[in-house]
Structure 1
Amino acid sequence: MFPESPIGVYDSGVGGLSVLRAIRDALPQESLLYVADSAHVPYGEKTQAFVLERAHALTDYFVSRQAKAVVVACNTATAAAIAQLRRRHPDLIIIGVEPAIKPAAHLTHSGVVGVFATTGTLASPKFAALVQREAPEVRILLRPCPEWVGLVEQGELAGPRVDAAVRVPVAELRAAGADVLVLGCTHFPFLRDAIQAAAGPGVPLLETGSPVARWLRHQLQERGLLRGAGTGDTQLETTGDAPALAALASRLLGMPMEAAATPERWR
C-alpha cells in the first residue's frame, strides 16, 4: 500500500454515494473506487450471511486493486460484516458507518431520538449495542423505511410519491416526541429535503458521511498514507447496469459521471 493507492468504497446500490461525496469533499487529492453492488440491492432485506458473503467478495476485490483503505458505506453491511473483515484483513484500513446515535443523544432536548434505517440495521446486535453504549438515558424510536431505499435507487428524490412516503414515518416519530432524527441508511441523505420539509425546519437531521470522511483522513494520516497535492480521480463500477449507474450517479452527485462493470468474478 502506498499514498497513491486508491480508496475503495462500496454499498448495495447508490446510497453510499452520499459517503463518497463527503470523502471527495474532505480528501480531494485521493483516488476513489466506488462499487455499487446493484445486482444485490437492497442489503437491508437480505440475510446477514449473504451480506457477509458480499462484503468478503468486494473487499477481496478492492485488495486485488491495491486499495489502501476500504469504506463500507452501508449501515447494514457494517453491522453484519465489519468485525469479520477486520479480522481477515488486519493490515488494511477498514471503516464502516453507523447511525449517528451519539451526537443525537447530545442534541435532544426532549430525550427522544428517532432513527430511520433498514430492517437489517435496526435488527442487528451491533445497533443494539451502539444504542446501549451511546444513549442509555435516551428513548430511541426506531422506524424501518426500506421503501425509501427503493425511491433513491429509482432516482425519485422529490415529488408527490416521495412526499407521501416520508410523511407518515416522520409524523409518527415527531408525534412520539422525537426532536432529533437520525438518517440511519446512506441512501436517506438523498431524500433530505423531503424529510426536512415533513419534520419541520428546526429539527436536526443527522447523517454519517462527514464523520466517516474525517475518521478516514485521520487513519490515513496516522499510517502515512495520505496522498500529497493534486486532484484524485473517481471511478464508479457496478455489479448491475453500468449505464443506469452512470445516469443516476450523475444526478445524485450533480456532475457527469461514467461507470463500468465490475469484473464477473466479483459479482
Structure 2
Amino acid sequence: MMQPAHPMHSVNAEAPIGVFDSGVGGLSVLRHIHAQLPHEHLVYFADSGHAPYGDRAEAWLVERSLAVARFLFGQGIKALVVACNTATVAAIKAIRAEWPGMPIVGVEPGLKPAAAATSSGKVGVLATDSTLHGAKFLQLRDQIASASNTEFLLQPCIGLVDQIELGELGSKETVALLEGYVVPLLKDGADTLVLGCTHYPFVEQVIRGIVAEHATHPVALIDTGDAVARQLARLLEGAGLLRPAGTAQLRGYTTASASVLADAFRGLLGLAPVIEAVDV
C-alpha cells in the first residue's frame, strides 16, 4: 500500500489550528473561526512575500501551497484551513493527498447559497482570475447552474487584492476599481453578488455603497467565512479534537513584513498577536 508523503503526526485537542492565505484576506475567515471557536489556539500564515496568488500558474500555486502547509504542519497543527479561494481551487487536492486523514478545510465561492438566494436567476461572482479559470471552480459552476437554472456572471477583479493588501480599503482607486467590476453586473441583472476571494469581505461596505447608488433592485452579498468556520467545527468535533475550554493563543507568521501583518491584525480585527517573519 502506498504510504503518504507525511505520516500522520500525533495531534490532540490542545494543538493549534493553522490558517493560511496569500496575504491578509484570510483574516476575514479567521475572525469567524475566532468567534465560533473562541477556545481554540490559532496560527495564521500570510504568504505576503509571494502575493498576490491570483495571477499565478496552477503548478506554482500547488508548489507554494504545499510549502506553506508543510511549515504549518511542522508547527504541530491539528487542522488546516486554506483561507484562500485561489489556493483552494488549485491545491487543496494535493494538500489532502499529502496529509490524508487530517481535518483540512478549503474555501470556495458560495455559488450554492447564491443560487438559492437569487430571484432574478443571475448571480455575479467577484473573484481572482485564477479562481474563475480553475477547473474545480468551473465544474462547480456548471453543476450548480444546471441544477438551479442560475446564470453565473464571472467578474475577475484584477488589482483588488493588491489594494486591500496595501490597506487601501476605501481609497478613490479602490472605489473606482470596484465600481468598474460591480456596476456592469448590476446592469446585467445580477441580484446576488458572491465575494469569491477572502480579501473581499474587507471592502464589503464599499460594495454595499456602490450597490445602494447603482442598483434598481435589492442585492444580496454572499460571504462563506461563517460556513467555513462551521465546517471546521464539525470536523474537529467528529475527530474528537475540539478544545473545550481555556485561554486561547493566537500567533502569526508572514513571508513579508511582521509589522505590516501586525497592523492588519490590529486594524482589521482589533487583535495583537505575536508575529514572526519567516523564510518559507
TM-score, length of structure 2 as denominator length: 0.92
Q: Which residue of 1 aligns with 2:211?
A: 199
Matches within 5 A, 1:48-197: 48-136=58-146, 137-197=149-209
8 Å CA contact 2:144, 2:150 repeated in 1:
no
Among 247, 252, 255, the alignment partner of 1:231 is: 247
Q: Which residue of 2 aligns with 1:41?
A: 51
- Where structure 2 has 5 or more consecutive residues not aligned to the other structure, the ranges are 1-10
8 Å CA contact 1:247, 1:257 repeated in 2:
no
Counting matched residue pairs gives 264
Q: Which residue of 1 aligns with 2:8?
A: none
Whole-Å Cα distance in 1 between the matches of residues 73 and 261 of structure 2?
Answer: 23
8 Å CA contact 1:102, 1:135 repeated in 2:
no
Q: Which residue of 1 aligns with 2:260?
A: 244
8 Å CA contact 2:250, 2:274 repeated in 1:
no
> Cα deviation per residue 1:216-261 (whole Å; 9 max; x = unaligned)?
0000000100001123111111011111111122111123344111
Whole-Å Cα distance in 1 between the matches of residues 274 and 246 of structure 2?
Answer: 21
8 Å CA contact 1:75, 1:96 repeated in 2:
yes
Q: Secondary structure at the match of 1:143?
A: strand
- Where structure 1 has 5 or more consecutive residues not aligned to the other structure, the ranges are none
Of residues 163-172 and 16-25 in structure 1, the stretch that sits farther from structure 2 once superposed is 163-172
Q: Secondary structure at the match of 2:25?
A: coil
User: Which consecutive aligned stretches of 4+ in structure 1 deviate over 2 angstroms post-superposition?
Assistant: 159-162, 254-258
Among 9, 28, 31, the alignment partner of 1:21 is: 31
Whole-Å Cα distance in 2 between the matches of residues 257 and 191 of structure 1?
Answer: 23
User: 2:275 is matched by which residue type in structure 1?
Assistant: A
TM-score, length of structure 1 as denominator length: 0.96
Of residues 26-35 and 227-236 in structure 1, the stretch that sits farther from structure 2 once superposed is 227-236
Q: Which residue of 1 aligns with 2:271?
A: 255
RMSD: 1.2
Q: Which residue of 1 aligns with 2:4?
A: none
* % identical aligned pairs: 46
